[in-house]
Amino acid sequence: MRVKLESSSLTGDDLECIVTDMAAQAAENANKQGVKEQLFLLAQLGYDETYIWTLLLREHLTEGTEVVVSDPKAEDSAHSTGFAGVVDKLLDERVTVIDCLGDAFDVDFDEIESFENNFKVSGTQ
């Protein structure tokens, strides 16, 4: 196919609309089919789970969000065991989490196992 394109004086610019349309269609199909297909598509595009999780955390974590932190994954981790706490602040590469004793720990995004935002919408319980 590349030889055919080059011999016809076609370039990447000529394929740009086709690539854009097909990528949008692949994303739409994955979104319709749910999380499994979305993750499959992202993996096919070269994104690993740690990167995807970090993007989701950056989008959803706010001050006061409850998180569960795993056992440390790095030797230089500030914490020695897993714990639950609340987000104090988001840093570039880490999240400051306050545990139930009031101690603050900077944890890596991939050390956060789960989170829950407990904000209530007005008029709901």
In the sheet that holds 94-99, the strands lie side by side as 104-108, 94-99, 83-90, 66-69, 112-116
| Residue range 9-67, pLDDT digits in tens | 888 898 999 999 999 999 999 999 999 999 999 999 999 999 999 999 999 999 999 99
**Regarding predicted confidence, which is higher, 5 or 90?**
90
Q: Residue 123: its pLDDT value, please?
A: 45
Q: Residue 118: its pLDDT value, please?
A: 64
* C-alpha torsion sign, points 11, 26, 55, 109: negative
Region 106-122: mean pLDDT is 80
- In the CATH hierarchy, which top-level class contains the domain 59-116? mainly beta
Q: Residue 63: its pLDDT value, please?
A: 93
Q: How confident is the model at residue 7 (pLDDT cuts 50, 70, 90)?
A: confident
Helices 49-60, 35-44: crossing angle, 10 deg rounding: 120
Cα(76)–Cα(72) distance, integer angstroms: 9
**106-117 in b/e burial notation, b at 16+ Cβ within 10 A?**
bbbbebbeebee
| Residue range 86-107, pLDDT digits in tens | 999 999 889 999 999 999 999 9
| Residue range 10-26, pLDDT digits in tens | 888 989 999 999 999 99
List the domain boundaries for the chain.
Answer: 2-44, 59-116
Q: Residue 121: its pLDDT value, please?
A: 43
